[in-house]
Amino acid sequence: MRRVYLRLFDIKQKIDYKIEILAGLTVALALIPEAVAFSIIAGLPPLVGLYAAFMMGLVTAIIGGRPGMISGATGAIAVVIVALAKTHGIEYVFATVVMAGLIQMIVGFLKLGKLIRLVPHPVMFGFVNGLAIIIFLSQLVQFKTVVNGEQVWLSGQALYLMLGLVALTIAIIAILPRFTKAVPASLVAIVVVFLIVVGFNIDTKTVGDIASISGGFPPFHIPAVPYSLETLKIIFPYAAIMAGVGLIESLLTLNLIDEITETRGSGNKECVAQGSANILSGLFFGMGGCAMIGQSLINISSGARARLSGIVAAVMLLVFIMFGAPLIERMPMAALTGVMIMVSIGTFEWASFKLVGKMPRHDIFVIVVVAGITVLLHNLALAVLIGVIISSLVFAWESAKRIRARKYVDDSGIKHYEIYGPLFFGSVTAFNEKFDVLGDPDEVVIDFKESRVADMSGIEALNKLTERYRKINKKLHLRHLSDDCRILLKNADQVIEVSILEDPTYHVATDKMI
């Protein structure tokens, strides 16, 4: 099919209509079992998850900051709201989703999406690997059945059929791209397995065995909760956590898709889009959501790069709900399970194994910790936060060890301290240990040409040092300090020797700047 340029919603994209439409159709099929499963986890009706997937997918596809990324109902959000759904009911969930959307929009308008840049690469590795393991483990439930109210593993012919169909799906996805990429391999695999199951009347688990997906257009619905301070106290903590988890997962997924496609999305724009989508989701009977890494990778691996695929996925999902439920409910879960297993394999950063022995040990530790927390607790926000904290502490410790001083006495008997490395809260102790205040001559020069004062802890360390020299009537010169450092030093007029032409122009981080 001829490639053309299309300006869609003010974003210029190179569109291959066939690839975009087929990729969107594949994603729509993959969205159904995920949305149903996550709504059940949250203790909500299946249609609530499906409506959320439709609304989240459509809005973020149109106005989001990352063309090609797919959003919908997710497990991370389901885990957050399950307690609220049990204690206060579905109406409070809708109100929480709307409030979470408002918080996310505020984050976007304040341009705080750029804070995702503070997430180190080892944390990204851990995040991706943890999610890949979760995606894989979540597919194992398809190899179970309910007997006397309890889930037990399949056995005998049922197990062999399931394994065979999953293996066929995986084989098609793995082999077909070697011959042609004209049609998404995932879609071909789903269709082939579906035709085999229907044609040979094979008795295997289908989408309809999970829940019915039949419904109408999402109804507009204002959450029926008391508009009071008491209600706000109930929903705000959940909304804040939901907003944070949703943005972290969405922005990390955005970064991952950026790396795969070698393009750059807009984090702030994505925050606004996620917020808008959640507000509409809460008003149209949806449980809310965020970016879905699995479905996003299905979309990207199918060749989609523009907004059209996401729009098609959302619209087709609604079409399935309204008109195609009887057919889609016959879709074998083995096909969708095989697709998601391939997604998990493609998601895992296998290169991280090659880096063992080549990366610093603390980076490997961060990867393992983040992946472990993600898998064990299913708490993405906590995993990323802990990973960032560990990385930050390690960075501060390593930077603190780099401060050093070159000491010498010139022909005039003046002692010089040439400081190398940053002076900040972590290096203050090592900095103070460099000086022999009592043993120094009457005149001392401290040169910061190869150093910089990074925070108020560094400024306070200089204040105390100048006071120590002052008390024993020794003359001290501080050279090559920035203007803001000289202003903040209490004893600046008495101790600083200014060399304007050589003074750096960096700025110290103060409370006003923060």
Average pLDDT over the chain, rounded to whole? 87
83 and 209 belong to one structural domain: yes
Q: For residues 143 and 334, give the distance between their C-alpha atoms in angstroms, rounded to a whole number.
A: 9
Q: Give dist(CA 40, CA 43) in Å, integer.
A: 5
Q: What is the DSSP letter of 233?
A: H
Query: Do 75 and 207 fall within a single domain?
Result: yes
Is 428 a member of any domain?
Answer: yes
Q: Distance between CA 34 and CA 30 in Å, rounded? A: 7
Is 388 part of a structural domain of the chain? no
pTM recorded for the entire structure? 0.78
Q: Is residue 501 part of a domain?
A: no
Q: Same domain for 421 and 367?
A: no
Residues 73 and 154 in one domain: yes
Does residue 357 sit in the same domain as residue 436? Answer: no
CATH number at residue 420: 3.30.750.24
Does residue 297 share a domain with residue 232? yes
Same domain, residue pair 244 and 187: yes
* Cα–Cα distance for residue pair 230/234, rounded to 1 Å: 6
CA distance to 159, 287, 411, per residue, from 250 (Å): 36, 16, 63
**Beta carbons within 8 Å of 404's beta carbon, 6+ residues apart:** 419, 420, 421, 434
What is the per-residue pLDDT for 511? Answer: 46
How far CA 119 is from CA of 7, 122, 263, 296, in Å, comes to 33, 8, 19, 20
Do 423 and 308 share a structural domain?
no
Q: What's the total number of domains in the chain? A: 2
In a domain, 297, yes or no: yes
Assign 226 to helix, strand or coil: coil
Query: What pLDDT, on the 0 to 100 scale, is given for residue 280?
Result: 97
Q: Is residue 1 a part of any domain in this protein?
A: no
3-state secondary structure of 47: helix
Distance CA 124, CA 367 (A): 8
pLDDT score of 228 more than 70 = yes
- Terminal-residue alpha carbon distance, the chain: 53
Which residue range(s) make up the domain with 124?
A: 16-379
pLDDT top residue among 138 and 190? 190
Q: Would 322 be classed as within a structural domain? A: yes
Give the span between the Cα atoms of 33 and 317, in whole angstroms.
11
The pLDDT of residue 13: 52
313 and 242 both lie in a single domain = yes
> Does residue 387 fall inside a structural domain?
no
Residue, of 500 and 459, whose pLDDT is higher? 459
The 10s digit of each residue's pLDDT in 421-445 is 888 889 999 999 999 999 999 999 9
Q: Do residues 292 and 441 both lie within one domain?
A: no
Asked if residue 193 is part of any domain, the answer here is yes
pLDDT confidence of residue 497? 45
238, 331: one domain: yes
339 shares its domain with 410: no
* CA gap 173, 181 in Å, rounded: 11
